[in-house]
Amino acid sequence: MAEQDRKKVQRKGTEAESEAVQPAAGETAAETTERIDELLDEIDEVLEENAEEFVKNYVQKGGQ
Amino acid sequence: MTVHKVCGTETEYGISVRNQRESNPAIASGLVVNSYAGTHARVQWSFEEESPGRDARGFGVGGVVVEDFDSALVNVVLSNGARLYVDHAHPEYSTPECFDPLEAALHDKAGELVMARAGAAAGTLLPAGQRMGLYKNNSDGKGNSYGTHENYLLARELPFADVIRYLTAFLVTRQIFTGSGKVGSENGRPNIPFQLTQRADFFEERVGLETTLKRPIINTRDEPHGDPSKYRRLHVIIGDANLSETQTFVKLGTASLFLAALEDGALPDPVALADPVAAVWQVSHDLDFRLPLSLEDGGSATSLELQWQYLEWLTKYAEQVAPDPVYDRVLALWASILADLETDPTRLADRLDWAAKLQILEGFRNRDGLEWDDSKLRALDLQYHDVDPERGLYYRLAGRGSMQRLFTDEEIELAVAEPPERTRAYFRGRCVSRFSESLVAANWDSLVFEVGEDTLKRVPMMEPLRGTKERVDTVLEEVADAAELVRALGGSHGRTGSEEGPAEGNGS
């Protein structure tokens, strides 16, 4: 793609961006951290107990 | 659109019997399929019409083994028109033929629920302490991959060479929003901590018939499961299994719209990558979306730039043809995803599996000080895809409201039982529900009934958009049993009868 075309594409991209549907209003950095910490705590409760053995025994042959 | 874009997915699930030494995946897969309580009866799949060795480029390949004979024993048709079966060493779910990408995304999720239930039922038959694990992913992290395939109905007139010329760069670059993410790399590709897709490392050819080795970007299997003089079924093998509803919808929706525009001759000259095979893993390994890909014309462009270009093409196409409003949703979601990839990809953690998974992995790395080669990160990667709603990390995110959803649990539940209403899957599903005792075999384009006469009665379904609720509900309501149904449809002896399909039976 020529340099000129590429710039055009990026400019179009910026236009589309302004029209795009955006997710709900953003959270603060502190809120994000808190949310992720809670998530990790929840995952701790359900994560496979022996990660190394779980990963080692997960072998999938014969797939498409 | 020249041909309505009927579509669907087929997914091989990873399987692992926890705490069982030397488990046999084929036996475990059979246990899963046979344990599923949602089958009204064991209606068998028929392979009569299938020919996966036929090549879209116009030649056949001899000696392709279709299936082991025994696999017919674990191959069933469900009341929603889907197929649940064992493919070699994996349980596999093929959605019914869906009317549009939103319905196909819904039925893709219904497949997860079917697998979760089948796995739970199979688990009750295992010795104490063992558990059935089923994973909607595409790699074991040890060099073995298994597929998630998309199917799209195409017009036979569309030259396959055009599909290759146009679709290759689209499929390579769409990985930035179709990937489910993976820790590490495989198959001799360069080492990397994390990449966008499960499948990219396994693609080794531009075009080909194979699906299990030397996987091609464009798969040429020419098996239309419909009238071969009118249709192709494009079999896309380069996508990931997605848990995110948004992602499956956008993956199927963008490809459907692209193919419709291609059929309508509405696309400008194609963009050709200089080395598409290398670009597959390069795009997947590029978490900044800034890697310039060399083009055949001597220039270069990034994956993101090319996707913006495709969005522009298809936005223009949609303005011209005003397709169903479902495609407006596709375009809006696609634009929002590209915009976030451009400015802040972490915002995609609520829509794209790779971004959601990466957020979890980075969270654990930060909290626990883990290096990328820590087994715990690989375990988290696998467990993201566990279909058990308690254990699967995707479901944990969704349960916390952290994933944007398109469907309610009730809608997914309904799709487990009920077929799509606007394709021939409706007729198949209803016949499974009502006449399973007489239905001796089924496949994508026919049903075979035993109605107490000398010969079996075969009802062909060569048109994917016949056999719909609108066309067959009247006749289904009027008949008391399968014999009456076959008489009402004018069912054929063997394969000599009408190839028009069940819609003709009710005079519509």
User: Does pLDDT of A21 surpass 70?
Assistant: no
Q: CA B239, B245, B251, B256 torsion: positive or negative?
A: positive
- Cβ distance B171 to B217 under 8 Å? yes
- Cβ distance B15 to B29 under 8 Å? yes
- B341: three-class secondary structure by DSSP: helix
| Alpha-carbon distances of B382 from B104, B312, B336, rounded to whole Å | 25, 36, 28
pLDDT at A8: 44
**Average pLDDT value for residue range B173-196:** 98
| Alpha-carbon distances of B485 from B64, B250, B416, B451, B500, rounded to whole Å | 36, 39, 25, 10, 16
Compare CB distances from B212 to A3, A38, A64 and report the shortest one's residue: A64
pLDDT at A57: 94
Q: What digits encode the pLDDT tens for the residues B442-465? A: 999 999 999 999 999 999 999 999
If you average pLDDT over every residue of chain B, what do you get?
92
Please give the Cα distance from B363 to B356 (Å, whole number).
Answer: 11
Q: What digits encode the pLDDT tens for the residues B267-314? A: 999 999 999 999 999 999 999 999 999 999 999 999 999 999 999 999
Please give the Cα distance from B354 to B350 (Å, whole number).
Answer: 10
Closest to B399 (Cα-Cα) out of A42, A25, A22: A42
Q: What digits encode the pLDDT tens for the residues B360-397? A: 999 999 999 999 999 999 999 999 999 999 999 999 99
Q: What digits encode the pLDDT tens for the residues B340-352? A: 999 999 999 999 9
pLDDT at B222: 92
pLDDT at B40: 54
**Average pLDDT value for residue range B99-122:** 98
User: Does pLDDT of A13 surpass 60?
Assistant: no
Please give the Cα distance from B502 to B490 (Å, whole number).
Answer: 9
Please give the Cα distance from B146 to B267 (Å, whole number).
Answer: 33
User: Does pLDDT of B403 surpass 90?
Assistant: yes
Interface of A with B (CB under 8 A): 1-3, 5-6, 9-10, 12-13, 16-17, 19-23, 26, 35-40, 42-43, 46-48, 51-52, 54-55, 57-64
| Cβ count within 10 A of residue B76 | 23
The β-bridge partners of B10 are B94, B149
pLDDT at B164: 98
ipTM of the complex: 0.90
- B478: three-class secondary structure by DSSP: helix
pLDDT at B52: 77
Chain A, nearest residue to B391 by Cα: A46
Residue B13 main-chain phi, psi, to 5 deg? -95, 140
User: Does pLDDT of B23 surpass 90?
Assistant: no
For B418-469, the DSSP string reads S--SSSTHHHHHHHHHHHTTTEEEEETTEEEE--SSSS-EEEE---TTSS-H
Compare CB distances from B375 to A16, A55, A61 and report the shortest one's residue: A55
Interface test with chain B among A12, A58, A59, by most B beta carbons within 10 Å: A58
pLDDT at B44: 75
Please give the Cα distance from B167 to B465 (Å, whole number).
Answer: 25
Please state which of the ranges A59-63, B195-199, B214-218, B331-335 shows the lowest mean pLDDT.
A59-63
Q: What digits encode the pLDDT tens for the residues B32-57? A: 999 997 665 567 777 766 777 777 77
User: Does pLDDT of B496 surpass 90?
Assistant: no
Q: What digits encode the pLDDT tens for the residues B139-169? A: 999 999 999 999 999 999 999 999 999 999 9
Please state which of the ranges B54-68, B86-100, B328-342, B353-367 shows the lowest mean pLDDT.
B54-68
Please give the Cα distance from A25 to B294 (Å, whole number).
Answer: 38
Compare CB distances from B336 to A3, A20, A64 and report the shortest one's residue: A20
For B291-325, the DSSP string reads PPEEBTTS-EE-HHHHHHHHHHHHHHHHHHH---T
With beta carbons under 8 A apart, name residues in chain A contacting B335.
Answer: 16-17, 19-21
B73 token code pair: 């024993």
User: Does pLDDT of B174 surpass 80?
Assistant: yes
pLDDT at B73: 62
Interface test with chain A among B18, B176, B250, B313, by most A beta carbons within 10 Å: B18
Residue B172 amino acid letter: V
| Alpha-carbon distances of B289 from B234, B309, B338, B339, rounded to whole Å | 28, 15, 10, 12
- Cβ distance B362 to B181 under 8 Å? no
pLDDT at B39: 64
For B149-199, the DSSP string reads EEEEEEETTS-HHHHHHHHHHHHHHTHHHH---EES--TTPPP-SEES-SS
Query: Known catalytic residues of B?
Result: 87
With beta carbons under 8 A apart, name residues in chain B contacting A6.
Answer: 299, 301, 305
